[in-house]
Each structure stands twice: as structure tokens, then as C-alpha cells.
């Protein structure tokens, strides 16, 4: 029985990847033509690139665990297809409806697929999060609506995010498929994107410092972060408070009293309303000499309580 489920898992992963591969070559061809002003099919490039990405990420997830790519399968079927090595050999799996090739069961959507991707690649979450949030915003509109007129950076950041994810999968030895190989045009684009990032940050800092010199004290407002996805930090241009977006994660260290939990905020973008400085991702923040990880352990108990994570051990230790 385990061979049947494993073969089904391999087939599903391969079929999803092949479907993504059908989109990907033509997608990047249109993408490069549009950014080089050789085509006006920007929406077609975005729609096809994001469709290809969704299918290939699902192919990766299915290769890890077939049960993970379905949202609404019954618990017994999920257990069956997720744990083939643990099911007894005498188990009668034919009594179960494993018709997962039909439309009977719903797969993860685009956002859910990329959220699962971050489980396997947590080291890329801080780096990619602002860009994948941008992808979430425009995926459906690119296929069934009308995209706004993106500036070239907004268009290129879509390609940058997709290429970065694809490269991570290409280099993953545990993923048996290589659905795409970067071309000379792809590598040239990525090098150009990094070069323009440096110049963009230099220009943004210069313009914001000029704006800061024209600020008066009565123009400065009070800034407060109201959730765990934002954090108030000093702007590198005007030295006033700006707002960083990102996410919080708990870590467990050790001290002489035993386990010692800490809470860190991982900054992934920054905007200062006072001087107008906008840094689109963590690399731009680093180029502006900003810290990108902040200790919020003084708020740990509040964070835990909001998630019902507070244990008697923590209360005893910190009471």
C-alpha cells in the first residue's frame, strides 16, 4: 500500500510541476520583453509567472507530503495519504475514496501555498515577505481582472521574488525535479535588479534627508504600532520614528534557570511618514545601515497570552 501512495505522491508532484513548466518558459520570455520595452503584454507576463510559481510550489509541497496540498479532505484520508510508511500492510486502503485527481477536493490557494513554502524555507521569509505580500495582492487580478499601471520597479520585483523562490527549489537536493534553468537574460536581470537596488536606496536616503531638513517641530506626529506585524524604529534619514513591517517569532534559549524564551521582531520593510523614506525589503534596510532584528521580549507575556500559549512554567518563572 505504501508504494501505491508514494507513487501517487510522485505522480501528483510531477504533474503539478509539468503544468507549471508549461507556463514558465513563455512567461519569462514575455517578462523580459516587457521590461525591455519590446512588448506591452505586462499583465500576461504577471498572470502566467504567478500561475507557474503556484504550480511549481505545489509540486514541491506534494513531493514532501501529498496530504498537505489539500484543504478539505477528510481526516482519515489525510492520515492515509500523509503517512504511507506508518500504515499496516494489511490495511484495506481500497475501501477509501482516493480520487484526489478529481475536483472533489480543493487544493491550497496561492497564498496558502507560499505560506507553506516558508515552513520549508524559514530563512527566506524575512527576505521575501514584502515581495510575496505584493504577489498575493495582485495574483487574482492578473488573471481575472485588470492590473493597475505598475511602475517598472513594481513589475520587476514580481520577477525577482519568483526567481528567488525558483532558485531555492532548483538548489534543493531533496526536491527531485528541476523545472526551470535560469537563462542569460534571467541572470542579467537579477544582477541589474541588485545594482538598481543600491542606487535606489542611495537616492531615497538623499531625498529623505533633504525633506527632513525642511521639517519643523510642529509637523512631527506621534507614531504607535498596534500589532505584531509592525514596530516603531528610528528612521536613518531624519532620526524620527518610522514604521517597520515584519513578523514576530519566539525563540528558546537557556540560562542558569533553564529554558529562557525570547521574542524577536524581524523587520522586512520600512516607511517614515515624516520624511518619506521607503525601504521595500530587508536588503534595502541593510543598505541604509539599519538593524533588521529587534528584541521584543518585554512584550513576550502579552504575545503568549494572545495566542493562549502561556504555561504554568512560564508564569512561575516570571511571576
pLDDT of residue 285: 97
What confidence tier does 256 reach under pLDDT thresholds 50, 70, 90? confident
Nearest to 157 by CA among 22, 52, 283, 60: 283
**Pairing state of beta strands 258-271 and 241-255?**
antiparallel
SS (H, E, C) 68-113: HHECCCCHHHHHHHHCHHHCCCCCCHHHCCCCCCCCCCCECCHHHH
Nearest to 114 by CA among 92, 130, 93, 90: 130
**Whether 252 contacts 297, CB under 8 Å:** no
Residues 6+ apart with CB under 8 A from 220: 240, 274
Residue 95 CB-half CA count within 13 A: 4
pLDDT of residue 248: 95
pLDDT of residue 76: 78
What confidence tier does 293 reach under pLDDT thresholds 50, 70, 90? very high
The percent of residues in the chain predicted with pLDDT above 90, rounded, is: 59
Q: For residue range 203-240, list pLDDT tens digits in order.
A: 999 999 999 888 766 555 566 677 899 999 999 999 99
Which helix (DSSP H) or strand (DSSP E) does residue 269 occupy?
strand 258-271
pLDDT of residue 229: 95
CA atoms of 237 and 213, how far apart (whole Å): 10
157: its cell numbers: 520585483
How far lies 110's CA from each of 52, 125, 132, 298, in Å? 11, 16, 10, 35
Q: For residue range 9-35, list pLDDT tens digits in order.
A: 888 899 999 999 999 988 999 999 999
pLDDT of residue 226: 79
What confidence tier does 251 reach under pLDDT thresholds 50, 70, 90? confident
Which helix (DSSP H) or strand (DSSP E) does residue 60 occupy?
helix 42-64
User: In the predicted model, what is the mean pLDDT of residues 119-133?
Assistant: 96
| Domain boundaries of the chain, sorted by first residue | 2-182, 218-318
pLDDT of residue 49: 95
61 vs 258 pLDDT, higher one: 61
Amino acid at each position: 500500500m505504501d508504494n501505491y501512495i508514494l507513487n501517487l505522491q510522485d505522480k501528483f508532484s510531477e504533474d503539478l510541476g509539468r503544468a507549471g513548466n508549461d507556463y514558465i518558459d513563455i512567461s519569462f520570455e514575455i517578462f523580459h520583453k516587457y521590461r525591455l520595452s519590446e512588448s506591452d503584454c505586462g499583465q500576461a507576463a504577471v498572470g502566467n509567472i504567478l500561475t507557474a510559481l503556484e504550480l511549481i510550489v505545489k509540486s514541491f509541497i506534494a513531493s514532501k507530503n501529498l496530504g498537505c496540498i489539500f484543504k478539505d479532505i477528510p481526516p482519515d484520508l489525510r492520515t492515509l495519504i500523509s503517512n504511507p510508511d506508518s500504515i499496516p500492510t494489511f490495511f484495506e486502503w481500497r475501501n477509501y475514496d482516493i480520487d484526489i485527481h478529481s475536483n472533489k477536493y480543493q487544493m491550497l490557494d496561492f497564498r496558502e501555498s507560499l505560506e507553506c513554502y516558508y515552513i520549508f524555507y524559514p530563512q527566506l521569509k524575512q527576505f521575501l515577505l514584502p515581495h510575496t505580500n505584493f504577489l498575493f495582492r495582485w495574483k487574482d487580478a492578473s488573471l481575472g481582472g485588470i492590473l493597475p499601471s505598475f511602475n517598472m520597479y513594481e513589475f520587476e520585483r514580481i520577477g525577482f521574488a519568483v526567481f528567488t523562490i525558483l532558485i531555492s527549489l532548483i538548489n534543493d537536493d531533496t526536491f527531485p525535479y528541476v523545472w526551470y534553468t535560469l537563462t542569460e537574460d534571467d541572470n542579467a536581470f537579477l544582477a541589474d535588479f541588485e545594482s538598481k537596488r543600491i542606487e535606489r536606496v542611495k537616492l531615497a536616503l538623499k531625498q529623505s534627508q533633504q525633506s527632513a531638513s525642511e521639517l519643523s517641530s510642529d509637523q512631527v506626529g506621534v507614531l504607535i504600532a498596534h500589532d505584531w506585524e509592525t514596530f516603531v524604529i528610528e528612521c536613518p534619514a531624519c532620526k524620527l520614528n518610522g514604521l517597520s513591517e515584519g513578523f514576530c517569532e519566539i525563540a528558546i534559549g537557556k540560562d542558569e534557570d533553564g529554558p529562557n524564551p525570547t521574542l524577536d521582531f524581524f523587520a522586512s520593510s520600512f516607511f517614515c511618514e515624516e520624511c518619506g523614506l521607503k525601504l521595500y525589503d530587508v536588503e534595502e534596510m541593510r543598505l541604509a545601515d539599519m538593524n533588521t532584528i529587534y528584541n521584543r521580549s518585554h512584550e513576550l507575556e502579552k504575545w503568549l497570552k494572545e495566542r493562549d500559549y502561556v504555561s504554568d512554567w512560564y508564569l512561575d518563572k516570571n511571576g
